[in-house]
């Protein structure tokens, strides 16, 4: 009688061991996917930050150290302005 109990217990333990190995394998796969996703997201973060830095560096800041006027009588008081390139006569507003 004792021998039968041992056999049943051994089969149950083997079944649990195989189930545990399966769960462990699935967990390792999930962890690997999470690490790959983490690396992809980190690379995407670096690339988007670099893109914004490049985009913002396309504009040039103009700093005027004294008060002056531009050609149309608009006061430019020390500080900065953004140079978007040369203006054509079509883009200038006429008063």
From first to last of the 95 residues of the chain, give the pLDDT tens digit. 456 666 667 777 777 777 888 888 899 999 999 999 999 999 999 999 999 999 988 887 766 555 555 556 566 555 555 555 555 555 555 54
CA dihedral over 23, 25, 31, 33, signed as positive or negative: negative
Beta bridge partners, 82, equal 61
Helix (H) or strand (E) holding 58: none
Question: How far apart are alpha carbons 72 and 93 in whole angstroms?
Answer: 10
* Nearest to 76, CA basis, from 84, 65, 60: 65
Report the pLDDT value the prediction gives residue 95, as an integer from 0 to 100.
Answer: 47
Report the pLDDT value the prediction gives residue 74, as an integer from 0 to 100.
Answer: 62
- 73, 95 in Cβ contact below 8 A? no
């Amino acid at each position: 009688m004792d021998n039968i109990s041992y056999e049943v217990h051994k089969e149950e333990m083997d079944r649990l061991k195989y189930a545990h190995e399966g769960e462990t394998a699935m967990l390792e796969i999930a962890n690997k996917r999470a690490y790959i996703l983490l690396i992809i997201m980190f690379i995407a973060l670096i690339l988007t930050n670099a893109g914004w830095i490049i985009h913002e560096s396309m504009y040039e800041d103009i700093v005027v150290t004294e008060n002056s006027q531009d050609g149309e009588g608009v006061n430019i008081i020390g500080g900065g302005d953004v140079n978007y390139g040369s203006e054509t006569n079509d883009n200038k507003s006429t008063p």
